[in-house]
Amino acid sequence: MTARAERILVVAVAAVVACIVIALYVGFLMRSPRSVASPTSVRPERSAHLTLQTVGALGPHYENPDWVSYLARDDKGKWIHSTNLRVPAHALVRVTIRQYDTATGLRNPFFARPQGTVGGVIRIDGKAVDVIDPNHTSHTFAIPQLGVFVPLPGVADDAKNQCGAAPCTRAQAHRTITFTFRTGARGRYRWQCFVPCAAGFLTGFGGPMQRLNYMDGFLNVV
C-alpha cells in the first residue's frame, strides 16, 4: 500500500470514528431526562381601598365649621378629619368617594375628563363615564405626580335632604364616584382639589384649598 493510500485510509477511519462518537452523544442526550423549567412564580397584585367623602361645610363639631373639606373613613368605619392617606406601593387602589357638595365648576375644562384611572373611566352612581360637564363639577381628586385626575360631579342645588354638617350619611343627598388607579414606587405624593371651592376667599383658592386635612393632603405609598 502506498503512502498516499495509507493517509486516505487513516482519514476515512478517523471520520467514521468521529461520526460514531457524535451519534452516541446525540443518542445519550435524547435518552437523558429533559429538565423542565419551573414556571416563574407570579405574586398576586397588591390592593387597597380608600373611602372618602366631601362636604360643603364641616359644621359646628370641627375647627373652621364653614369650610369645605374631605374626610376619610378609617379601618373601623369611622369618619376622620384627615387627608393623610396610606396605600401600598405597586398596588391597585380602589377608591369610593361620596360627594355631598353642590357644584362650583372648573376653571379649566381639561380636568373634566378622568385621567390615570384604570380603563380611563370613573363610575358615577354606578354608570361608567369618561368625561363630565365641567360646569357640574364640585371637586376633584387629583394626584399630579401619578397622573391621576378625577372630577367629582356636584349634588343638584335643589336636591332634598342635603347634608349640612359632617360627617354626612348615605341617607343624605350625594353622588357616589368610584374608580381605580395603580400606585408606583414608594414615596409621598401630594393630592388636592383643583376646583376653586373656597367661598369667601380670593379667587376661591384660599383657606381650605391651602390647608392640609381640608381640600388637599398626602398619599403615602409604602
Is the preceding omega at residue 208 within 30 degrees of 0, hence cis? no
The whole-number pLDDT of residue 113 equals 97
Per-residue confidence of the chain (222 residues) as pLDDT tens digits? 565 555 555 445 555 555 554 555 445 444 544 433 344 455 678 999 999 999 999 999 999 999 999 999 999 999 999 999 999 999 999 999 999 999 999 999 999 999 999 999 999 999 999 999 999 999 999 999 999 999 999 999 999 999 999 999 999 999 999 999 999 999 999 999 999 999 889 889 999 999 999 999 999 999
CATH code for the structural domain at 46-221? 2.60.40.420
The whole-number pLDDT of residue 33 equals 42
CA atoms within 13 A on the CB side of 207: 18
Largest Cα span, the chain: 120
DSSP letters, 77-128, are S-EES--EEEE-TTEEEEEEEEE-SBP---SSGGGGS-BSSGGG-EEETTEE
- Sequence spans of domains, the chain: 46-221
Q: Cell numbers for 132, please give them.
A: 363630565
pTM for the whole structure: 0.80
The whole-number pLDDT of residue 1 equals 58
The whole-number pLDDT of residue 202 equals 87
